[in-house]
Amino acid sequence: MKNPSDERGGSSRRGFLNTAASLGAAAAFPTVIPGSALGKGGVVAPSERINLGVIGYGPRCKYDMGPMLAQPDVRCVAMCDVQTQRREEGKERVDKHYGDQKCDAIVDFRELLDRKDVDAVLIATGDRWHGHASILAARAGKDVYSEKPCAMTIDLAIKLADTFKETGRVFQAGTQRRSVPNFEYAVNLAQSGKLGKLKTLFASVYTPALVTQWLPSQPTPKKDVIDWDLWLGPAPWRTFNEAYAAGRWRDHFDLDAGVRLLDWGVHTVDLCQWANGADETTPILFEPAETRITAKYANGVELVLDFLKTPFGERTGWITALGTCPVRYVGTDGWVETGDNGGLELQPEPLKAGLKDLPTVAHNSGLDVGAHARNWLDCIKTRGKPAANVEVMRNSHIACHAAALSWLLGRKLEFDPTKFAFVNDDEANSLRSRPVREQWRI
């Protein structure tokens, strides 16, 4: 069986376009629960409890669930996955946490959405399902925390935002770095003018890749093992291969949100959007090169999506000790860089004075998702807008998708952020959406 990494690269992009238009720290997560919500012994009153349904129990869900189960005002009541082994594993984890057998195991997420006792859902499927499941959840009256990338295309990101506006539901994108102190600190420096006039933003991203060969067909398992049709969902039909179900769907265009670029880009580009005060817009120009994609905002600030050969960034100019998903903001009077280990590097020297009191939240500690989930839960109660609300998600995802399309097409693209369309480019505009199987049109 071929390794997909052997098939990556940009050499066949044009040909493609021509043929296809539990955590140990969980108990320590910070929570802010109003005293009025607590009953005897500190137990959350039923009227204040949020009943959670989970859709998709894979590696990312396992990470998210620890912080969510630790919240005293959350009760997970249903676990949904099309793979029996994963579904049963998820239910077992929830039941063990609560010390009972009350978590229901469900195959079809639509059954979960029909339940009146489910207030909100965590969606942690593969990319192909995030947008569709979120839209259907909102229409069913559920609030949503969706793993990223939240939408497979530009048009789906727009549809997702419109749906949540129409339904009044609360949406939080799983871009949890918006709730992490070191990233917040760096953004504050950029927005406060302490770096001078902002000039260039650097977002680290994986080197784009496109798999053009599919894995060989294998016999489709019985539905009591995996519901393969439901696993594919909106994606075009593909024959079964066990590697896809195990997670090797990434980089295959029909199943992946965007040539690997959105895997990190939805985090790092999102942080750059935030630093530039550009949450309500996108860049207006995207130009690909061998090791980067350069974008430009209407205010003149440049955004560089820098391709990294490894997760820790073996490219000139990056401070590799700062960990994964690094970002760098450069102004006329200084710069700041930060990443997932919780640290910061910055100049000039006087700006470091505020670092001594900054809490360190390292990636994979669970504290990042804990704070982000808490923000979502609080907004469910107040009906406020979370840190990574649906409008924020829409624009940062559109910026990533536009950059990915510039790489796929191999040319400069001009984008109108008010019309959400490429300027005078029918080919690029045709790629704002993708084919969807008829039964999943929304």
Q: What is the pLDDT of residues 302-343, one digit of tens each?
A: 999 999 866 555 566 788 789 899 999 999 999 999 999 999
Q: Are 142 and 120 in contact (CB under 8 A)?
A: yes
384 and 427 assigned to the same domain: no
Q: Are 66 and 366 in contact (CB under 8 A)?
A: yes
* Residue 247 belongs to a domain: no
Nearest to 173 by CA among 318, 373, 419: 373
205 and 114 assigned to the same domain: no
Nearest to 20 by CA among 235, 286, 205, 230: 235
Q: In the predicted model, is pLDDT for residue 15 greater than 50? A: no
Q: How confident is the model at residue 395 (pLDDT cuts 50, 70, 90)?
A: very high
* Residue 2 belongs to a domain: no
pLDDT of residue 354: 78
**Average model confidence (pLDDT) across the chain:** 89
Which residue, chain included where needed, has tokens 């249903």? 78
27 and 161 assigned to the same domain: yes
pLDDT of residue 211: 79
Least confident window among 123-132, 296-305, 351-360? 351-360
Q: In the predicted model, is pLDDT for residue 96 greater than 50? A: yes
pLDDT of residue 16: 38
Rg of the chain over all Cα atoms, to the nearest angstrom: 21
133 and 86 assigned to the same domain: yes
Segments forming the whole domain that contains residue 72:
22-177+377-390
Percent of the chain, pLDDT > 90? 76
Nearest to 256 by CA among 440, 400, 428: 400
77 and 42 assigned to the same domain: yes
pLDDT of residue 36: 43
Q: What is the mean pLDDT of residues 143-149?
A: 97
* Residue 15 belongs to a domain: no
* Residue 28 belongs to a domain: yes
Q: In the predicted model, is pLDDT for residue 46 greater than 60? A: yes
Nearest to 334 by CA among 136, 195, 148, 131: 195
pLDDT of residue 201: 98
User: Model confidence over 105-125: pLDDT tens digits?
Assistant: 999 999 999 999 999 999 999
Q: How confident is the model at residue 212 (pLDDT cuts 50, 70, 90)?
A: confident
User: Model confidence over 372-387: pLDDT tens digits?
Assistant: 999 999 999 999 999 9
* Residue 321 belongs to a domain: yes
Nearest to 428 by CA among 278, 287, 261, 267: 287
Q: In the predicted model, is pLDDT for residue 400 greater than 70? A: yes
pLDDT of residue 2: 35
336 and 386 assigned to the same domain: no
143 and 263 assigned to the same domain: no
Q: The domain spanning residue 303 has which CATH number?
A: 3.30.360.10
Which residue, chain included where needed, has tokens 């859709």? 55
Which residue, chain included where needed, has tokens 């093992």? 225
pLDDT of residue 171: 98
Q: In the predicted model, is pLDDT for residue 364 greater than 90? A: no
Nearest to 38 by CA among 23, 54, 51, 49: 49
112 and 192 assigned to the same domain: no
pLDDT of residue 17: 45
Reduced 3-state DSSP string for the chain: CCCHHHHCCCCCHHHHHHHCCCCCCHHHCCCCCCHHHECHHHCECHHHCEEEEEECCCHHHHHHHHHHHCCCCEEEEEEECCEHHHHHHHHHHHHHHHCCCCCEEECCHHHHHCCCCCCEEEECCCHHHHHHHHHHHHHCCCEEEECCCCCCCHHHHHHHHHHHHHHCCCEEECCHHHHCHHHHHHHHHHHHCCCCCEEEEEEEEECCCCECCCCCCCCCCCCCCECHHHHHCCCCCCCCCHHHHHHHCCCECCCCCCCCHHHHHHHHHHHHHHHCCCCCCCCCEEEECCCEEEEECCCCCEEEEEEECCCCCCCCCCCHHHCCCCEEEEECCCEEEECCCCCEEEECHHHHHHHHHCCCCCCCCCHHHHHHHHHHHHHHHHCCCCCCCHHHHHHHHHHHHHHHHHHHHCCCEEEECCCCEECCCHHHHHCCCCCCCHHHCC
pLDDT of residue 98: 97
What's the start-to-end Cα distance of the chain, in Å?
36
340 and 383 assigned to the same domain: no
Percent of the chain, pLDDT > 70? 88
200 and 90 assigned to the same domain: no
Q: The domain spanning residue 131 has which CATH number?
A: 3.40.50.720
* Residue 220 belongs to a domain: no
Q: In the predicted model, is pLDDT for residue 213 greater than 90? A: no
Nearest to 308 by CA among 208, 207, 406, 400: 207
* Residue 398 belongs to a domain: yes
Q: Which residue type sits at 18?
A: N
425 and 305 assigned to the same domain: yes
The two three-digit tokens of residue 166, written as one number: 């129409």
Q: In the predicted model, is pLDDT for residue 32 greater than 70? A: no
* Higher-scoring residue by pLDDT: 380, 17: 380
- Count the neighbouring beta carbons within 10 Å of the beta carbon of residue 149: 29
Q: How confident is the model at residue 358 (pLDDT cuts 50, 70, 90)?
A: confident
Number of compact structural domains in the chain: 2
Q: What is the mean pLDDT of residues 189-210?
A: 95
* Higher-scoring residue by pLDDT: 197, 324: 197
204 and 352 assigned to the same domain: yes
User: Model confidence over 59-91: pLDDT tens digits?
Assistant: 999 999 999 999 999 999 999 999 999 999 999
Q: What is the mean pLDDT of residues 270-275?
A: 98
* Residue 368 belongs to a domain: no
Please give the Cα distance from 403 to 312 (Å, whole number). Answer: 21
Please give the Cα distance from 172 to 146 (Å, whole number). Answer: 6
